[in-house]
Structure 1
Amino acid sequence: MASVIGTLASIGMAIGPPLVYADQAYSIVKKRDSSGFSHDVCGVVLVANIIRIYFWLGNRFETPLLIQSLLLILAHLFLLSLCLHYAPSPNESHVQVGSRHKSWYRPYGLWQWEGYGSYLEFLAGLILFLAVLQVILGRWLWYIDSLGFIALTIESTLPIPQFISNFQRKSTYGLRASTLAGWFFGDSFKTIYFFLRHSPIQFKITAIMTVCWDTAVFAQRVMYGTEPPRGGSGEIGHMGDELESNRLALEPES
């Protein structure tokens, strides 16, 4: 019985996190609008899991976690393409705040590019750079351990871009409840899993950090609600209807 439970837990660990984003992707396609979901989240997941795979080359952690990384990379490459394809235009005021069109300064416009190819080039460069380092330093335990800490520290910041976006817009509009629930319950399960399976300490520490940020984003949902940000397209449309009604009321009857 214990082995069956362990197998099911491993399967859930491998495929659960990638499936969390299925509803988010469906929502973006359905609304034809990716505003509200920070595409920086995709960047965090992609970079963290690419580094984690190199960590696996030097420290063979459990296979379900490796499969999870591979599936997350595929899922977020697809989700990133949706975010860019359905990104609102800069003149849509309800997404200017907190979107990729208006953000804090980043060197070389990091992860704020327009074309999908630029993101793929960046990731390809990262993979090549890590491959070179692996050949040179892969024999040293301190380097492998450093990769683990770097990968998992980056992963622990996953909710932070969404937290910042929500704070700037004072709304959690566009962030699916299923995604948030998947983050919180998935990361909680992952934290317990790491402790029960005696995973490397890097996994345990960063999992706890991630749960804390998940809780912060959940608190934002309670505080801000899910209505579009003030000045959003819905609000502009409502104001337009009012202006039209006032204009008609002022026109003399024929």
Structure 2
Amino acid sequence: MGAIETLAGIGMAVGPPLIYADQAYSIVKKKDSSGFSHDVCGVLLIANIIRVFFWLGNRFEIPLLMQSIFLIISQLILLAICLHYKTPSNQDSSNYAPLSPLPSTSEEGPTRGHQRQESDYLSQPPTSGTTSGSGRRKRPFDFWQWEGYGSYLEFLAGLILVLGVLQIILGRWMWYIDALGFVALTIESTLPIPQFISNFKRKSCYGFRSSTLAGWFFGDAYKTVYFFIRGSPIQFKVTAIMTLCWDSAVLAQRMMYGSNPPRESSNQFSSSRAEAEESRGLRSDGEERQFSIQ
């Protein structure tokens, strides 16, 4: 019985972090992180950092603590990979002026005031108050939509600092510890929601690995049974059931949408290709007219 408990504890500690190994490998192989919501990394990082502080007040099992530590490390690596291979495929190119140049004229010509260079369109892209550079709707303070990896690390460092101060001030009261546990595990129970929203918007599960989905579903089912058998705190049991329900919703999306690329991506590629050809045609016509005038 002791050997079984040891193996179960090892599986609980290292199993969840290993779920994301194949997802990271797929992103590196394709050099494209689209299709996988890096909000998933944010949910896991924030939830598990809070869970570590929860452990300081309520010493639950060591395998669960090690799971949190391993998840923090693995998600920091996965987040760095996602940002490194982030592509501008979701950029709304319709907001930008076409790059086809106007026929050039001499400085003394009558149309001098109407001259416009290609670089003008690039140096002054239109601004929008509702969407970010990738075409996504902005969040308050651009939360978890920052460009640099350092911004994420600064936020996480600030979170650890705040939790540390609160632990010193309020850590003696059990109501705070219990609330901390519910906050940590409630956040973790929302893990599949960002991916669910991403799949729903794109009407596709392209880029989201089946191995990750299988790891979510079977891993959370295993954790739910483990929590009830081992008599873990009620916070673990309730949130495990919530997470399993969202896993089932993402699984239903996989069955409905499949893993083919979203149609909008192929349409955007076709339209951008047509615009490029049209731009080249206008460029050739302009040069031909300029040559004939000369």
Say whether the fold is shared (TM-score over 0.5): yes
Corresponding position of 2:151:
118
CA contact (8 A) 1:149 1:202 kept: yes
Runs of 4+ in 1 over 4 A off after TM superposition: 90-94, 237-241
- AA aligned opposite 1:59: N
- Aligned-pair CA distance for 1:43: 0.2
In structure 2, the partner of 1:213 is 246
TM-score by length of 2: 0.77
Change (3 A) 1:124 1:166: same
> Which of 197, 222, 233 pairs up with 1:164?
197
Q: Which runs of 5+ in 2 are unaligned?
A: 94-131, 278-294
Deviations 1:79-105 (A, max 9, x none): 0001101001256579xxxx9823344
Q: Could you tell me which residue of structure 2 aligns to residue 146 of structure 1?
A: 179
1:5 is matched with which residue?
4
Partner of 1:24: 23
Show the 5 A alignment for 1:122-141: 122-141=155-174
How many percent of aligned residue pairs carry the same amino acid? Answer: 70
Partner residue, 2:229: 196
Q: Does 1:102 align with 2:117?
A: no
TM-score (norm 1): 0.89
Per-residue Cα deviation, 1:3-45 (whole angstroms, up to 9, x for no partner) = 1111110000000000000000000000000000000000000
Confirm or deny: 8 A CA contact 1:33 1:86 kept in the other structure. Answer: yes
Amino acid at match of 2:217: F
Residue 88 of structure 2 aligns to a residue whose secondary structure is coil
Give yes or no for the alignment of 1:232 onto 2:265. Answer: yes
Q: How far apart are residue 180 of structure 1 and its match?
A: 0.2
Secondary structure of the residue that 1:232 maps to in structure 2? Answer: helix
Give the corresponding residue for 2:32. 33
Instruction: Name the SS of the counterpart of 1:171 in structure 2.
Output: coil
Deviations, residues 39-94 of structure 1 (Å, cap 9, x unaligned): 00000000000000000000000000000000000000000001101001256579
> What is the rounded CA distance, in whole Å, between the counterparts of 2:90 and 2:56 in structure 1?
46
CA RMSD of superposed structures (Å): 2.3
Q: How many residues align?
A: 239
| TM-aligned CA distance change 1:138 to 1:240, over 3 Å | same
Q: What amino acid sits opposite 1:43 in the alignment?
A: G
* Higher CA-based Rg: 2
| Contact 1:152–1:206 (CA under 8 A) maintained in structure 2 | yes
With over 3 angstroms needed to count, the CA separation of the structure-2 counterparts of 1:112 and 1:12, relative to structure 1, is same
